[in-house]
Amino acid sequence: MSTISSRRPPPPLTRTSTTSSTNNNSNTTKSRMTSANPYTPTSYSPMSPQAYSPTYHPSPSTKPNPTLQNQNESHAYSRHHHSRFPIPSVKSLNIKDNLRDMRDLKNLSNLKYRQRRRLLKLASIVVFGGLTVWSICHYFFFRHGTSASLSSFSPSFSWGSNKQDDTFSSNEGEEVDYEAIALSRARASPRGGSMRKLTDEILNNLSLDAETCRATFPGLMKEVDDTVAKGPFKVKRSSDLGPMQVRIKEGRVYVLHAQRKRDLSSEMVNSRTAALHQLHRALLTLPPSDRSHLNEFDTILTLNIRDTPFGTALQYTRNADPKHAPTDPDARTFLIPHFSFWAWDLPFIGSISRAASAITALEESQFQGNRWHSHKDPRAVWRGTTWFNSIHNPQLRYKLVSTTKGKPWADVQALEWQSGNDNNKQNATNSLMIEDFCKYKYVIHTEGISYSGRFQFLQMCASVTITPPIQWMQHTTHLVKPLFSSDLDLDKARSLRKRRDGKTKDTRAKPGAQKNEPWQPHVRHDRAWPKRYDPNEANIVFVAPDWSDLEDTIHWLEDHPQVAEGIARRQRELFMGGGYFSPAAEACYWRELVRGWAKMARPVKGEFEDLGVPYEEFVLSNGWD
């Protein structure tokens, strides 16, 4: 106690409660603490080091108050402790105020949450609205084009509904635009580039299920669906000279009947074997979803590998004119992919995979972008056999050669065949590799006795395919969109060309002379192709069957280079970019074909008791002698 009483005690602290600001409160407290002890010098502060120093002594002139000194001594430690840790002034605790503050904080939190939700909703509306506007503008301005020079050509164009069963009507009702559906996935830009393409993994996948097949290749099953819609039919046993018949049982192929090899040409034997390979591969690669119910594929198939269709069978072609459809209630034509989808035993074609790879390498390395105009040969090209014509147009190929003879805009030649030394294989000295046709801006397509097997190879090119109206349909021919030359202003193009060439001679018809009327499609062409397409929609060009307007059509296309390139690009983008010629599409089509046939076929009882020869055994020798 002597030590404590020997030093000057700190002044007592007086706690006050105030609602003033922090700075004012601190100053007020300090002044009150100082004035509470009359013996404290004006320079003294409770926080000063003198208050806590044991060697500090007040000046002798200062007289202590005994009462305050005793109080200080009795509470020296307490005051000493509180002077080291002064208690700040605080607002008195009020439970109601605290509860109100908590509610305010909660309301503020809810308000911020609602504001964030409104902002997110507004952002999503702006984003999706912008995408919708962009899609509409992209469709109308980039797909259809706005060429002023073609504004006078405005044929009707109607969209059809995308039905799940891919049904299609080309004669009446609304038409499903399968190309538009396919190009929504792999759409060609105005300069020919693609926005999005099917991957190689999909195009080479042989085990796509039925639903994926239809979604990936819209419209591919149109021919199958149309034939199935005709209803059930009878299947009878073939005669000795009749077409091949096979049994499908539990996913395996058995040959019931086949013509002798000596009764067929070597090409027909090869095409028959190729078709069997295609069928077997499609069944061998069945997806797991189909393997659980193989009985859907159990049936008796009839396979006709000749050029002209007849009876009820799987066939390569059918007549495009619906008036020439078979009248037999049991007659059915199920179109199958051409045997060249497996391979073609010609030195300038080979397998379709080789040809497709070569064409793709050529198009992508030499003719992308602006190089289509500058690098492609501006002539129209054709190679073929002149005598191989249809009975409906027996002079088709002869007239083509005579019409183009000596013309600077044409590279048309009849093939000069030579017999080879290897199993009588033939080659032509002036032939072109199939990919070399794609080096030309214009490729001429001619049908043969019926269809032409090289059509799908020409469609792989980014070139304008020019042909008379197609009269024989294959399994993907319905996807073409023809531009008829009769719908073009060829007279104006002819006049402009003559003025440009300096030929100003008066060419007006003399009095009494017969006027040369432009070609107009025959009624059978209108039945086969009832819909006309705008130049900015078309992917093929139809000209007069006698080639009378071929030159004027090519010059018109040369005068409208953007239109010509668009037709060429759309063709390749659909059939190659859309994957319709891919191995995946072929396997999908074969499986749907067998499923559709099996659903409607009614084999005559008692005529198909034997199982047949297994496919693996039959193909060892390509048949029987």
pLDDT tens digits along 88-100: 554 455 555 666 6
Q: How far apart are the first and last CA of the chain?
A: 136
Dihedral (Cα; 518, 519, 520, 526), 10-degree rounding? -160
pLDDT of residue 220: 98
Same domain, 297 and 374: no
Burial of 166 (0-12, 13-18, 19+ CB in 10 A): buried
- Shared domain check, 440 and 494: yes
Dig out the tokens for 64 from the structure: 């202590």
Is residue 384 scored above 70 in pLDDT? yes
Check whether residue 225 and residue 77 sit in a common domain: no
- The total domain count for the chain is 3
For residue 333, give both structure tokens: 């034509």
Report if residue 146 sits inside a domain.
no
Q: What is the pLDDT of residue 37?
A: 46
- Binning pLDDT at 50, 70 and 90, where does residue 64 land? low
Q: What is the mean pLDDT of the chain?
A: 79
The first and second tokens of residue 193, run together, are 């580039």
Beta bridge partners of 465: 443
* Pure H helices in 473-536: 490-500, 523-528
DSSP symbol at 24: H
Neighbours of 278 (CB within 10 A): 19
According to DSSP, residue 435 is labeled G
Domain boundary among 25, 52, 84: 84
79 contacts 105 by C-beta, under 8 angstroms: no
> What pLDDT band is residue 287 in, cutting at 50, 70 and 90?
very high
The verdict on residue 64 lying in a domain is: yes
Task: Give the integer Cα–Cα distance in Å for 265 and 249.
Answer: 30
Instruction: With a cut of 70, say whether residue 248 has pLDDT above it.
Output: yes
Same domain, 544 and 598: no
* pTM reported for the whole predicted model: 0.70
Per cent of the chain over pLDDT 90 is 53
* Residue 218 pLDDT > 90: yes
Task: With cut-offs at 50, 70 and 90, classify the pLDDT of residue 133.
Answer: confident
| Radius of gyration of the CA atoms of the chain, in A | 45
By percentage, how much of the chain surpasses pLDDT 70?
69
- Cα 605 to Cα 603: distance, rounded to the nearest angstrom: 6
Confidence of residue 316 (pLDDT cuts 50, 70, 90): very high
- Asked if the model's pLDDT at residue 107 lies above 80, the reply is no
Q: Are residues 371 and 315 in the same domain?
A: no
For residue 94, tell me if it sits in a domain. Answer: no
Q: Lowest mean pLDDT: which of 237-251, 311-325, 507-521, 587-601?
A: 507-521
Domain end (from 46, 65, 84): 84
Are the beta carbons of 572 and 460 closer than 8 angstroms?
yes
Mean pLDDT in residue range 469-493: 94
**Given 84, 105, 121, which residue is the final one in a domain?**
84
Provide the sign of the torsion angle of the four alpha carbons 508, 512, 516, 518, taken in this order: positive
Residue 164 in any domain: the answer is no
In a shared domain, residues 423 and 295:
no
Q: Which residues pair with 301 in a beta bridge?
A: 246
Judge if 222 and 202 occupy the same domain: yes
SS3 72: helix
Boundaries of domain holding 284 = 178-342+584-618
Query: CA–CA distance from 275 to each of 108, 263, 305, 434, 474 (Å)?
Result: 75, 18, 8, 22, 15
